Chains A and B, each alone.
Chain A
Amino acid sequence: MSAQTAHGSSTEKPIAFVSAQALRERMHTAVNDPHLRSSFRGAMDFLMAKRAAQFPDESELASLRSLSEGIRQYSLARLPDLLEQLEASLTKNGVQVHWAETPAEANAIMLGIAQRHQAKLIVKGKSMVSEEIEFNHAMEAAGVGALESDMGEYIVQLAGEKPSHIIMPAIHQTKQQIAKLFAEHIPGVEYTDNVDALIQIGRRVLREKFEIADIGLSGVNFAVAETGTLCLVENEGNGRMCTTVPKVHIAVTGIEKVVEKLEHVAPLFSILTRSATGQAVSTYFNMISGPRKPGEKDGPEEVHLVLLDNGRTQAYADEQLRKTLQCIRCGACMNHCPVYTRIGGHAYGTTYPGPIGKIVSPHMMGLEETHLLPTVSSLCGACGEVCPVKIPIPELLIRLREEAQSEPHANPAMVGQGAGYNKLASFGWRMWARVYGRPGSYRAFSWLATRFRMFSPSKQGGWTAARTPLTPAPRRLRDMVKDRR
C-alpha cells in the first residue's frame, strides 16, 4: 500500500494514535493549509444546508429528537439485559455471537473465522469500528486481504490514509486527486476527473471482488434485541453486496448499538439519514436476521456478530459519561463544528474526529493519549444543538477537561485521569480563585493592577503567539461608575 498523501506530512500513515505534542503540530499544519480549509469549508456548508432543508418543521424536529434521545437512553439503561436478549435472539436465528473486550480480541476472533475458512480476501462495507480496531492492518499482517468497498473508504485505502469524516471518508480529497490515484493504482485506468466515470471504474473493480471474496465484513447501525436483527444504512449497495454475496458475513459493532424493539429503529433511522447527509432516507436499509435458511437460494451460510467493548463499559459506569454512548454516528456534530471545519478530520489523529471523536476517544485510548483532545474546542455549543440524540457534547467536553486536568486521585472514573495535570497551572488558578472569590482581595488586586499596568509582560505564552498582549485597563469599572454618580 502506498503512503502517498494529499496534504503533506500532517496526514501521512495510518493515524490511530497521536501524542498531545504531535496533535498541536498537526493542528497548526492543518490550519495553515488553505487548500484543506477551503475544501472542508465548502463541504461542511453543503452538508449543513442539506440537513437544514430536511427539518423545515421545528416542532417535528424537536419531537423526533426527544423521541430519539428517549429511545437511546432507555436502551442504555437496559443495556446488559438487551445484549443478552440480542444474543439469545440472534443465536435462535442462527447467528453466532462473539464478545471482545479489546481491539486485539476482536481482531483475533475475526482472524480465527477467516483462517477456519481459509479466506484470502475479505471485502468490507463501511465500518468505523473496524477502523477503530485497525482491522485491515491486523488481517494484512496475517496474510489475509481486507478491501474497502464503500467508494470513499476505497479511495482512502488506495491513498494509504484514514477516513477524515465518519460518513464521508474521502471528503478531504478532490476529484483531481482521486483521478490521479485511480490512474496510478488501478491497472489499465487512464486519468479522468469525471465523477461518473470514476464511480464506474470503482464499480467495475469492486464488483470483481464481491464475486470472489470469501468473507464480507460490515458494521451495524442498529441491533434489534427482540427480533435478532442487524440493521445497516447505506446508499451504494456495497453493504448489501458484502452481507449477501460472500459465504460468510461478519458484522462488528460496539456494545452500545442495541435497541429493544424493531419499532425503535424507525425514528432513529429517520433522524440519522436526515442529520448525516440531509437525505430523507438512504437508498438502502438492510435488515439481516440470519444466514441463508434451507430452501433459500442465496445469502451467507454463516453470519457472525462481534460485540466490542474497547472502553465503552468505562463510559457506561458514569451517569454523565454514559450519554456518550447515545451516539448514532451521524456526523452532524463535525459538520457543524467550527474547529473541525478549519482543521479537517485528520489533524485530530484519532479514528473518530470532530466533537464525537473528542468525547469517545478518551474512553477508547485513555486520557494519557488524549488529554488535549477535549480542549480542541471553542465550546460554542453547535454540536450539542444539532445532535439528533441530544448528547450534551459541550458539557461532556468540560467534564473530560476536569478528568484530564484535575490532580490524580484514587478510584478515577477514567483511565488516565489527571494525565494533563500541571501543578504550577493548578496553583495559579487556585490563587486566582482565591483572589477573585473575595470582594476585599479582588478590590485590592484590581487597584494594584491598574496602578502597575506598565509592568504587564509583553510575552504571554500562547496568547501572544497570535494576539497583542493583555494589559489591565487604566481605570477600573468600579471607579468609572463612582465618578458618574
Chain B
Amino acid sequence: MSARDRILAKLRAGQPAQPLPAPVLGEHFGPRAGTDSPAQRLARFRAGIESFHAEVHITSEAGWPELLASLCADKKIATLLYGADTHAGRRIADAPFAGTTPRAWAGPVEGLKADLFHRIDAGFTQTRGAIAETGTLIVWPSEAEPRTLSLVPPIHFALLDARHIHPTFFDAIHAENWPAGMPTNALLISGPSKTADIQQTLAYGAHGPKELIVLVINAEGEPQ
C-alpha cells in the first residue's frame, strides 16, 4: 500500500457517514453585489487601490498610449517591456514615446532573464478586469503577456477597462465562469508589493513592483 492509499483509507474510515449540505454562497454575496452603477464601482475600486498606494489615471481608449508615454517620460523610464501580440501592445508600438524605449517581449524568459532583472525599468500589462469591493486588479498572464511582466520590473503599468469592474471576487468568478477554464496562472493584484515584517512598519517595494500605475479606460461605463 502506498502513502496515498494509506492516507485515503484512514480518511475514508473516519469520514462522517452523512455528507454535509453544500454551502450556499449567494445568500452572503447577493446583497453585497449591490446596485452600484459602473461609475460607483469605479469610484470604489479607485478608493481601494489608492489606499494601497497604487496610482490611478482616468484616460480614454484613444488617449491612453499618449498618457503612458508621458508618464514614462515623467518617471524617467528608459525601457518599458510589454507584450506585442495584444490589442494594447499594437497601440504601444505606435505610441509617441520620448526618452523611453518600448521593448516587446520576445522568446522564452531564459533569453531575457538578466535584462528583466537588471535593465528593464517598467512592465506593461492589460488586465482582465477588477474588483470594486477591495480595489483589486484581475490579471491573467498569457503567452503574449507572461507572468513575470507584472512582477519583476520595478514599475507595473496596468490597463483597466472600467466596464469589467465586478462588485466582488465572487461575482467575477461567476460572471466570467472561471471554473470552465483557468489559465496556468491567474492573479489578483491590490497595489505595489509591500511588507510589514519589520516591527509592523509598512514598507513598499518588498520583492515585486515598487509602483503600480493603473490606466483606466471607458470610465463613462457605456454598455458592452
Chain B: CB-nearest residue to A83: B8
Return the CB mask of A221-255 against B: 1 if under 8 Å, else 0.
Answer: 00000111100000111101100110000000001
Q: Do residues A71 and B207 form an inter-chain contact, with CB atoms below 8 A? A: no
**With contacts A67-B28, A263-B174, A298-B108 known, is A316 near B14, CB below 8 A?**
yes
CB distance from A182 to the nearest CB of B (A): 10
Contact between chains at A317 and B13 (CB < 8 Å):
yes
Report the bound CA distance from A236 to B206 in whole Å: 5
CB of B62 within 8 Å of the partner chain: no
Contact A195:B198 (CB < 8 A) given known A241-B207, A280-B48: yes
Chain A hits for B97, CB < 8 A = none
Which one of B13, B19, B196 contacts A168 once the chains associate, using CB atoms below 8 Å?
Answer: B196
Partner-binding segment picked from A266-274, A362-370, A378-386: A266-274
Chain B residues with CB below 8 A from A297, complex form: 105, 107-109, 143, 146
- Bound-state Cα–Cα, A272 to B187, Å: 17
Interface range on chain B: under 10, 10 to 19, 20 to 34, or 35 or more? 35 or more
A421 CB–B CB distance under 8 Å: no
- Of chain A, the residue at the smallest CB distance from B134 is A281
Residue B87 at the chain A interface, CB threshold 8 Å: no
Asked if B65 is at the interface of the complex by the 8 Å CB criterion, the answer is no
Task: Using CB atoms, name the residue of chain A closest to B200.
Answer: A46
A299 at the interface (CB under 8 A from B): yes
A263 to B3, CA, bound (A): 30
Contact A105 B207 (CB under 8 A): no
The A/B interface has a contact count, at CB < 8 Å, of 249
- A79 near B185 with CB under 8 A, answer no
Write out, one digit per residue, whether chain B residues 181-218 have a CB within 8 A of any chain A CB (1) or not (0): 01111111111111111111101011111000000000
**Given the complex of chains A and B, what is the CA–CA distance between A292 and B52 in angstroms?**
30
Listed stretches A30-38, A199-207, A442-450; interface member: A199-207
| CB of A151 closer than 8 Å to a CB of B | yes
Q: Which of B2-52 contact A (CB under 8 A)?
A: 2-4, 6-8, 10-16, 19-23, 25, 27-29, 32, 48, 52
Query: Is the pair A149, B198 in contact by a Cβ cutoff of 8 Å?
Result: no
B151 & A229 in contact (Cβ 8 Å cutoff): no
Chain B residues near A203: list those with CB within 8 A: 205-207
Interface residues on A, range: 35 or more
B135: A residues at CB distance < 8 A: 280-281
Partner of B3, one of A101, A170, A235, A291: A101
Q: CB distance A263 to B173 under 8 Å?
A: yes
* A319–B14 alpha-carbon span in the complex (Å): 8
User: In the assembly, what is the distance between CA of A169 and CA of B200, in Å?
Assistant: 11
B23 close to A264 (CB less than 8 A)? yes
Q: Which residue of A lies closest to B19 (CB)?
A: A77
Say whether, besides A227-B179, A285-B187, A195 and B201 are in contact (CB < 8 Å): yes
* B113: interface (CB < 8 Å): yes
Q: Are B23 and A70 in contact (CB under 8 A)?
A: yes
Contact of B198 with A316 in the complex, beta carbons under 8 Å: no
Encode contact with B along A376-415: 1 for CB under 8 Å, 0 otherwise: 0000000000000000000000000000000000000000
Q: How far is the CA of A46 from the CA of B25 in the complex (A)?
A: 31
What 1/0 flags go to B95-123 for Cβ under 8 Å of A? Answer: 00000000001011100011001000000
* Complex contacts, B207 vs chain A, CB 8 Å: 149, 203, 206-207, 210, 236-238, 240-241
Whether B109 and A293, one on each chain, are in contact in the complex, defined by CB atoms closer than 8 angstroms, is: no
Contact present for B197 and A169 (CB under 8 Å): yes
Inter-chain contacts of A144 with B (CB < 8 A): none
Contact with A along B129-146 (1 / 0, CB 8 A): 000011110000111001
The one of B12, B148, B151, B182 that contacts A227, using a Cβ cutoff of 8 Å? B182
Does any Cβ of B come within 8 Å of A287's Cβ?
yes
A298 to B153 Cα, complex, angstroms: 14
On chain A, the residues within 8 Å of B108 by CB distance are: 297-298
B184, chain A: closest CB distance, angstroms: 4
Further 6 A-B residue pairs, CB within 8 A, beyond A260-B22, A266-B169: A155-B198, A195-B201, A196-B203, A211-B117, A291-B184, A309-B3
Q: List 24 A-B contacts (CB under 8 A).
A: A71-B23, A77-B16, A80-B8, A83-B7, A83-B8, A99-B4, A195-B198, A195-B199, A203-B205, A235-B193, A236-B194, A238-B207, A267-B28, A267-B170, A281-B190, A285-B136, A289-B184, A290-B184, A296-B184, A297-B146, A299-B184, A313-B11, A318-B14, A322-B14
| Shortest 9 CB-CB contacts between residues of A and residues of B | A237-B208, A317-B14, A152-B197, A298-B109, A236-B206, A237-B193, A285-B188, A99-B4, A281-B134
